[in-house]
């Protein structure tokens, strides 16, 4: 049965993580109806076989709702962990000496195995080692090729295989592990739209993933390492999208530094025309509570005011007790913020300087014209989606309808600010373009009789990279006559 879902009343996108609480076809559909625009499949948990049914359920929404769906596969990346302890657990005392080494013997209160050769190669005296999500802090006093001697700065309980963060040095580790390569090949084979790469430290980390993807998906870089901040612009230029992964970023850096870094990452991403997602602990209390805290609502609102393309739910929708309520709350926050009369001014605090290209000039002009004439929508005819990304970067105050003959382009637009993608046949003439734009705007309730809409396209048609037309037309309301609804 075909169901109708109207265009979202908000322009910021919602990315919902799927997991044990939300993997059934019924729950995925419920999340979509509650406001989820895209779905994150976390490759860190479960096996590949279990992901097939989830991906198929997401794609099945396309037939039910006649709308493209968006899937992001999030690769685990290298996970640094200490070894095991005799008895499973120890207590570290502030000021004591504690050694990490290559010995596989179970550890005790004086030492433990560290099964990561690369850390021994890169570590330096004075560097910090953060254990168990930063709860424990060690400072390196001495090291050899096989031992790292530390002083315990912040003590506490430490148990088997707890995570380790090394924030002060660039580790000579590839961002892709063997598991990641296998998961990436699987995700591409399943036809996902975005691949998220973890542990990015430098632009070179993106090269192997880009090669393995082979143009079959867009590449999103997760900014979660201090080293990535040092080369942020280079990394953003090398990828198709960015995620502000505040979890590990907040572990490896002082928590008070994360808010200004979030604003900086959003600003750089917008300036360079890459969609940017803000993630981690946005509505954390809704894992167990049907209502968020006021601080969490303010946090989500801040990301929207900053101009993020998308905001993400993690455990709230993947494993929490209130997944649909979490999505509905994000949807409500997005609608409320975007109704604020000051919202338009705030998201334009970031100065976007267009590149000296015809497509960039038309995108900027479309935004300005839409504001001047109070247009109902901007309609973008695109094959690759590049023109739509340019328009979205300008943050126009009206909906952006993307008309494309390519399913991949329509699906990847799910992380793009304000985008409403429609899969449709290509046009062959200027007259056909105008007629189709009017018809689609009416059919999808983005315009009504008497409204003006702005068209952006390239002539000759069916020629990628030829964007050179901006056209303003008025909708009469008669365009649907003779066409099936």
User: How far apart, in whole angstroms, are the C-alpha atoms of residue 440 and residue 291?
Assistant: 38
DSSP code at position 353 = P
Strand partners, 422: 403
CA-based nearest residue to 463, from 426, 420, 416: 426
The two tokens of residue 284 are 């954390």
CA atoms within 13 A on the CB side of 15: 31
User: How far apart, in whole angstroms, are the C-alpha atoms of residue 56 and residue 161?
Assistant: 34
User: How far apart, in whole angstroms, are the C-alpha atoms of residue 442 and residue 55?
Assistant: 31
The two tokens of residue 163 are 């995570």
User: How far apart, in whole angstroms, are the C-alpha atoms of residue 258 and residue 251?
Assistant: 10
Q: Hey, how many other C-beta atoms are within 10 angstroms of the C-beta on 341?
A: 6
Print burial letters for 459-472: b (CB count within 10 Å at least 16), e (below 16). eebeeeebbebbee
The two tokens of residue 446 are 């983005």
The two tokens of residue 306 are 């900053």
- Active-site annotation holder among 59, 79, 81, 452: 81
- Active-site annotation holder among 280, 382, 404, 467: 280
Is residue 81 part of the annotated active site? The answer reads yes
The enclosing H or E element of 419 equals strand 419-423
Is residue 280 part of the annotated active site? The answer reads yes
CA-based nearest residue to 250, from 241, 261, 265: 261
User: How far apart, in whole angstroms, are the C-alpha atoms of residue 355 and residue 362?
Assistant: 11
Determine the 3-state secondary structure of 75 from DSSP: coil
Strand partners, 41: 18, 73
Determine the 3-state secondary structure of 219 from DSSP: strand
Q: Which residues contact 384 (CB under 8 A, 6 or more apart)?
A: 406, 409, 464, 465
- Active-site annotation holder among 11, 13, 40, 128: 40
Spatial contact of 198 and 175, defined as CB atoms under 8 Å apart: yes
CA-based nearest residue to 414, from 4, 6, 13, 5: 13
Q: Which residues contact 365 (CB under 8 A, 6 or more apart)?
A: 470
Helices (H) and strands (E) in the chain, counts: 17, 21
Q: Which residue has the tokens 């409500």?
A: 332
- Active-site annotation holder among 8, 222, 390, 436: 222
Do β-strands 310-313 and 164-165 pair in parallel, antiparallel, or remain unpaired?
unpaired
User: How far apart, in whole angstroms, are the C-alpha atoms of residue 55 and residue 53?
Assistant: 6
Q: Active-site residues: which are they?
A: 40, 81, 222, 280
């Amino acid at each position: 049965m075909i169901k109708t879902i109207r265009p979202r009343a908000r322009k910021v996108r919602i990315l919902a993580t799927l997991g044990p609480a939300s993997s059934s076809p019924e729950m995925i559909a419920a999340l979509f109806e509650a406001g989820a625009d895209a779905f994150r499949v976390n490759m860190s948990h479960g096996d590949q076989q279990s992901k097939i049914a989830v991906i198929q359920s997401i794609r099945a929404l396309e037939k039910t709702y006649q709308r493209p769906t968006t899937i992001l596969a999030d690769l685990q990346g290298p996970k640094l962990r200490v070894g095991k302890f005799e008895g499973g657990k120890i207590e570290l005392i502030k000021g004591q000496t504690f050694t990490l080494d290559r010995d596989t013997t179970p550890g005790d209160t004086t030492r433990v195995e560290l099964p990561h050769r690369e850390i021994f190669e890169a570590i330096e005296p004075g560097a910090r080692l953060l254990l168990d999500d930063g709860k424990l802090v060690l400072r390196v006093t001495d090291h050899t090729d096989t031992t790292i001697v530390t002083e315990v700065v912040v003590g506490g309980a430490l148990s088997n295989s707890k995570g380790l963060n090394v924030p002060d040095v660039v580790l000579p580790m590839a961002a892709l592990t063997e598991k990641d390569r296998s998961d990436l090949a699987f995700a591409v084979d399943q036809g996902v739209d975005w691949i998220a790469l973890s542990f990015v430290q430098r632009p070179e980390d993106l090269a192997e993933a880009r090669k393995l993807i082979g143009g079959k998906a867009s590449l999103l870089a997760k900014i979660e390492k201090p080293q990535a901040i040092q080369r942020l612009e280079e990394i953003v230029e090398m990828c198709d999208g960015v995620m502000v992964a505040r979890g590990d970023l907040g572990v490896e850096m002082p928590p008070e530094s994360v808010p200004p870094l979030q604003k900086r990452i959003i600003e750089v991403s917008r300036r360079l025309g890459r969609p940017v997602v803000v993630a981690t602990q946005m509505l954390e209390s809704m894992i167990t509570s049907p209502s968020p805290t006021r601080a969490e609502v303010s946090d989500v609102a801040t990301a929207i005011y900053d101009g993020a393309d998308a905001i993400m739910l993690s455990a709230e929708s993947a494993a929490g007790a209130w997944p649909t309520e979490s999505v509905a709350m994000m949807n409500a926050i997005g609608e409320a913020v975007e109704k604020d009369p000051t919202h338009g001014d705030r998201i334009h605090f970031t100065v976007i300087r267009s590149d000296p290209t015809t497509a960039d000039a038309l995108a900027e002009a479309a935004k300005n014209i839409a504001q001047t004439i109070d247009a109902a929508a901007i309609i973008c005819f695109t094959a690759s989606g590049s023109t739509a990304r340019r328009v979205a970067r300008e943050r126009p105050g009206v909906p952006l309808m993307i008309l494309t003959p390519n399913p991949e382009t329509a699906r990847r637009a799910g992380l793009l600010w304000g985008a409403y993608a429609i899969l449709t046949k290509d046009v062959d003439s200027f007259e056909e373009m105008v007629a189709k734009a009017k018809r689609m705007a009416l059919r999808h309730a983005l315009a009504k009789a008497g409204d003006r809409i702005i068209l952006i396209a390239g002539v000759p048609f069916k020629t990628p990279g030829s964007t050179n037309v901006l056209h303003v037309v008025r909708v009469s309301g008669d365009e649907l006559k003779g066409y099936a609804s």
